[in-house]
Amino acid sequence: MGSLNIGKLYKRKLIWYFKITDNSGKRLQRSTGKTVKREAMEFAQQYLARLNDKGISPDANTLKEELARYLDPFTNPRYRQALLHKTSYTLGYAKQVARHASLVTDALQKRLPAMLALPVDQCTRRDMKEIQIAIVEERGHCRTAQHMFGTLKTIFTYLADDSIIIQSPAAGIPDIGYEAKKMVAIEPELIAWMIGRKDLFPSPRAWAFFTFLAMTGMRKSEGMAIDTEHIQDGTLMIDQQVSPHHDHMVKPKCGVIRVIPLSQTALAALATLEPDKKGRYFGGYKYSDIATDVIKIRTALATEDKDNKEVWYTITPHILRHSANTNLLVSGASPVLVAEYLAWKHQELVDMQRRYTHLVAMNLVPVADMLDKLYAPRTEKKVLQMKFS
């Protein structure tokens, strides 16, 4: 493997470094990140021990090899981190990092193949900026492009943390900018018509599921977890959801558990279904099934209602949640109560309302009227007299 030359432990700008000699006799420099020599020595010894235990070469991988590590759950650091936290969102993020690592590899293979052969400890900030440009040229200014470059920054951050490189060349480089697509809520009249057209849905289960989401504003994963045990006297306890990547139950997003009353229409939709052996109304209804049904529902609604086909082609479970929020607020519901019903964190209330709500200008007329009342022109200035005892 290699041997640690203790005599070559040395200090540079307050930080201790050491060198490793590999089997070919090549000398490799590593930073301990420590300012105390004793701690630096311990770090160096532990570092070499880890390499020997795992059979890893001290030579820095090429960028292509490092990207490939993230495609395998056994070598992807994000997966290893997910095993510690045991949450669906961490596992989901690990899969997302793997997917975007693959996209980065494909983009560089097309536009900068020489960059893939570059050892990661030789990558510079200029290289990172060139990669960023290549990603934008390949994908454009979009969310995916931002995630791709973000994944690359994550990889180099891990390399720096593990002392494979001294510091990340991507640190401080701004993310790729993009313009988010604006979401438009579906008007109440159209949603009411959709719920009334059961014949346009691919199955009774699909109709019940989308009707239930429209009438509750619940997240798709929460709706999939509904069972008889959690419904009592017309109220529903939401303390679980179906994991986006595994067919098992996990806590709701952000761990927010709530109890909400269900509308009669929502209860009537569930009443049309026969729960499975576990009491789940939508047991066996997988994410892939829902994605397939969304396409069928869009086509059927757009074909039947050609005047609003552009609206129907945007429909998703999340659009139904978005529409519930918007329509409730425009109708005068309390923003705080809506936030509680839809399970937003109260500290996120203002930002989320701005993000989800599209208010018609006429709904702001009372504000303009109040300004008229407050600042109505006067010929005389009223002076406030203050009395002191």
pLDDT digits over 42-100, tens only?
Answer: 877 777 776 665 454 555 689 999 999 898 877 888 777 777 776 656 777 788 889 99
Q: Where are the domains of the chain?
A: 2-54, 63-161, 188-361
Lowest model confidence (mean pLDDT) among 75-89, 132-146, 223-237: 75-89
CA trace torsion 159, 161, 166, 167 (10° rounding): 80
Q: What is the rounded distance in angstroms from the CA atom of residue 164 to the CA atom of residue 31?
A: 8
* pLDDT, average across residues 150-170: 85
Give the pLDDT band (50/70/90) at residue 190: very high
| pTM metric for this prediction | 0.61
pLDDT attached to residue 353: 60
**Averaging pLDDT over each range in 151-165, 182-196, 243-257, 277-291, which range is the top one?**
277-291
Q: Which amino acid is at 340?
A: E
Identify the pLDDT of residue 25.
58
Q: How confident is the model at residue 231 (pLDDT cuts 50, 70, 90)?
A: very high
Q: What is the pLDDT of residues 323-340, one digit of tens each?
A: 988 888 888 888 878 888
Q: What is the CATH number of domain 188-361?
A: 1.10.443.10
CB of 9 within 8 A of CB of 41?
yes
218 has pLDDT over 70:
yes
Residue 196: both structure tokens together: 């009334």
